[in-house]
Structure 1
Amino acid sequence: MQNFFVRCNSIKVDSGCWVAYEKPNYSGYQYMLHKGEYPDYQHWAGFNDCIRSCRMIPPYAGNYRMKIFERSDFGGQNLELVEDCPNLHERFHTRDISSVNVMEGYWMLHEHPNYRGRQYFLRPGEYRRHNEWGSTSPTFGSLRRVTESN
């Protein structure tokens, strides 16, 4: 993508769910995009107009299940989730999530409550440290399941 344009002024998603990334090789800021039009970077909650890579999220119709942990390597208090959580601090009693085991479905972690701030896409798998999903900090405010409708 970087060979074709320097800035991304708008995006139109005709179908499916996509994650756009600020940097090449699926790194940097991450933005969840659903069907619709995004006339400028503020409409996709962007921090700038730079998009260098993107990936389609395969359609998924199964169950959703993940376990979040307070410390790296699956240590400390933990909580298993099967539904969206708009305020992690109220439910988990800490904002730190240092490791995650995604058993089923695709999820987005958000930096702040109510699905705001930086976004981090999680596929099924084990994430032993927060930097494995692209974050520089273990502090998060909310998380939600990735579905066609959100």
Structure 2
Amino acid sequence: MSGKIIFFEESNFQGRSFECVSDCSEIASHLSQCNSCRVESGTFIVYNQPDFMGQQYLLTRGEYPECTNTFGFNDCIQSCRIVPAHRGLFKMRIYERPNFEGQMHELTDNCNSIQDNYHMSSMQSCNVMEGYWMMFEQPNYEGRMFFLKPGEYRNLREIGSNDMKFNSIRRITES
């Protein structure tokens, strides 16, 4: 895993800074707040709450001068996780109901609309076999998002919120 992100207390890369090259569960232990950041290498997931909780946003190499407006967070960045580089196949199974029940489809590529492409009224569980993925609340990779690493997700409502539905999925191919 290699990546580097620099967090700044103020917008437009002002104020004190903190360089991060790995997961950080609590940015507040390094900075009083975080309102801008610069990704120098790698891919990161940032969260609006400590301990990798709350709303998430995927960051790739680039500058983010105003975090609250850019990410739609009501608050500043509180924690971050590096996304490991994945070289190889991508594979996941999505299910219509919790506990891997109901209609099932296997994905190896991005899906801009689960309902349109697979005629599923809902996606409530999944099994990520290979690669790292982002699920989005709305079609065409919009709305709130959620990071998925390899593993079983028996009830997606438990990881999001009870009213959240996932309608599109994208592979994380940048490193």
Tell me the TM-score normalized by structure 2. Answer: 0.78
Displacement, 1:74?
0.2
Name the counterpart of 1:135: 160
Distance in 1 (alpha carbons) for counterparts of 2:137 and 2:33: 25
**What letter corresponds to residue 140 of structure 2 in structure 1?**
N
User: Which of residues 52, 56, 68 is equivalent to 2:78?
Assistant: 52
CA distance in 2, matches of 1:116, 1:8: 24
- Matched ranges for 1:49-128 at <5 A: 49-128=75-154
Q: Return the structure number with greater relative CO, CA threshold 8 A, min gap 6.
A: 1
Instruction: Give the Å deviation of 1:39.
Output: 1.4
SS of the aligned residue for 2:117 comes to helix
Give aligned-pair identity as a percent: 46
Query: Counterparts of 1:34 and 1:58 in 2: how far apart (Å)?
Result: 12
Amino acid at match of 2:95: F
Deviations for 1:80-114, whole angstroms, at most 9, x for unmatched residues? 00000111111121352111100000000000111
**How many residues end up aligned between the 2 structures?**
147
For residue 62 of structure 1, report the CA deviation from its aligned partner.
Answer: 1.0
Mean Cα deviation higher: 23-32 or 137-146? 137-146
State yes or no: 1:18 paired with 2:44.
Answer: yes
Q: CA RMSD in A?
A: 1.6
Secondary structure of 1:14's partner? strand
TM-score normalised by structure 1 residue count: 0.90
Whichever of the two has the greater Rg, that structure is: 2
Unaligned runs of 5+ in 1: none
Unaligned ranges ≥5, structure 2: 1-26
